[in-house]
Structure 1
Amino acid sequence: MITSLPSSARILAVVAAAALTITAVSGCVFFPRSTFSDDASIDDRVDSVVIDSDSGTVSITGVEGLDVITVNRVIKHYGNPPGSTVTVDNGTLLLEGCGFRCDVSYTIEVPAGTPVSGGTENGLIQLQNLGDVDVSTSNGRIELVDIDGDVEAGTSNGRIKGTGLSGGDIVVETSNGSIELALSTPQNVRAETSNGGIDLTVPRGEYRVDASTSNGRTDIGITDTPDADNEIELRSSNGSISVKSQQ
């Protein structure tokens, strides 16, 4: 037989639950989110950069004639601050995350033309004046400027923008966001988005063009040359596609 609690017991149970709630909330007061930043200089040889982070913005700029690499970190965390998240091993500069409920954002200067790979789960990726790029983020946009090399870039939620792209094949993909690319040299391009438009600007030259969208307008302002060396393949499920030649 199921019996109900006496009214006094029910009142005590409610008071106990309320006390637990207050304790949990009070815990947040005693352990607020903290923010700090620091800077470091790296004299070691760096041939490449690898991003292996959970959350936070990554901004990497290549500088001509750079001798000393500079790293700025901005860390937002609960509890004790994290330790080192940057290491150099056999010429590879590794940028790691800082653990549970912790975000680390990087602003870094490296030698121009340095290749960058890896990614973060939540955050913007900005890369400028670098070599080969192979990066991804789950929630955040990707911005590429003056990249001389192959490009592979992907995000689940965010736009992808690239300008001054030269020297290699380009493969970019986003699930929710637009794609805007401007090439400095004729290259192979494959770009795909599920929800967003695609805007591609290419140098004068010959290209094989294959572009389609399920819902949107297609405006191809260059000639489709079936035997051209460079191929352009563009796909959108919901969004317009535009291809134009530089003036």
Structure 2
Amino acid sequence: MVLGAALSACGASAADDDEPEHRAFDLPGASLTVDSDDSALEIVASDEQPEGEIAVTRWFQGTVAIGSDPKVTWSMDGDRLVLREKCSGVVADCSAKHRIVVPRGVAVTVESDDGSVRAEGFRDALAVRTKDGSVRVTDTSGPLELRSGDGSVRAEVSSPTVRARSGDGSLHLVLTAVPDRVESRSGDGSTTIELPRGSYRVDSSTGDGAEDVTVPRDDSSSHEVTARTGDGKLTVRTAN
């Protein structure tokens, strides 16, 4: 009966955790790597966060019908925040989410195996790499690198340099300030790049899909855009 109930239950959602845990970790320098195996992540840079410290909030829901009880762990190894979920057995159903607040002036690298990543507020370098999950970045002006193996990538930023790649999923970049360089590549999915008014040196190609480049082009421009898509429509246009 327990197994039958577990089979018929709805999927676990970390949002149902009404009593999230909070913890602060010391940060020894001006860089942080977030190493996560299976969790949705929200990462925020804030002037209100004390220097030399990060604040982490964790939501978790999980059940295993037959097997070891599920659990999540968090630890700091130098400048690496390690987040792990253990959820295995018969009818294992778990969901985790972490919100990480870092002080301004910290460069962040995210390495995620499975889970969506959202980030905002960065003035310093930000790199997000997830094997399976969507990526969303807003309110960011530092150098930006975004990569998803399987998931959409979206950014609305004023970064001078943006490098974005999606193996399987759409890619949408909105630049709110004229960038020095934008590089994008999508294996299977549409790509849309919206740019402020200006002239750009554009190098674009698509393997199987329509191509619509309407920004003013100037081969001598110092503002470069390189866009590639294997299978999907490619659009490079001036933002409204």
Cα distance, 1:63 vs structure 2? 1.9
| 1:116 matched residue in structure 2 | 108
What are structure 1's unaligned runs of at least 5 residues?
1-21
Match of 1:39 among 21, 24, 43: 21
Matches within 5 A, 1:95-244: 95-99=82-86, 101=88, 104-130=96-122, 131-167=124-160, 169-185=161-177, 186-244=179-237
CA contact (8 A) 2:212 2:234 kept: yes
Letter paired with 1:96: L
Which deviations, in whole Å up to 9, do the C-alpha atoms of 1:204-245 show, x marking residues without a partner? 233210111122221111122111112111111211111112
Which letter does structure 2 place at the counterpart of 1:124?
A: S
Which residue pairs with 1:16 in the alignment?
A: none
Choose 236-245 or 172-181, whichever is displaced more: 236-245
Shift of 1:88: 6.3
Using the size of structure 2 for normalisation, the TM-score is 0.78
2:197–2:239 Cα contact (<8 Å) kept: yes
Q: Which has the higher helix share?
A: 1
CA distance in 2, matches of 1:83, 1:153: 26
TM-score scaled by structure 1?
0.76
For residues 64 and 246 of structure 1, the distance between their equivalents in structure 2, rounded to whole angstroms, comes to 30
**Pairs within 5 Å for 1:74-85:** 74-77=59-62, 78=64, 79-80=68-69, 82=71, 84-85=73-74
Structure-1 separation of matches of 2:86 and 2:36: 9
State the distance in 2 between where 1:121 and 1:195 align.
20
Aligned partners of 1:163, 1:225: CA distance in 2, in Å? 24
Structure 2 gaps, min length 5: 89-93
- Mapped to 2, the partners of 1:126 and 1:83 lie a distance apart of 20
Paired position in structure 1 for 2:75: 86
- Is the Cα–Cα contact under 8 Å of residues 74 and 106 in structure 1 kept in the other structure? yes
Which stretch shifts more, 111-120 or 218-227? 111-120
Amino acid at match of 2:172: E
Deviation at 1:118, TM superposition (A): 3.0
Structure of greater Rg: 1
C-alpha displacement of 1:96: 2.2
Task: Choose between structure 1 and 2 for higher RCO, CA contacts under 8 A separated by at least 6 residues.
Answer: 2
- For residue 36 of structure 2, the aligned residue among 34, 53, 57 is 53
Specify whether residues 209 and 166 from structure 1 end up closer, same or farther in structure 2 by C-alpha distance, changes over 3 A only: same
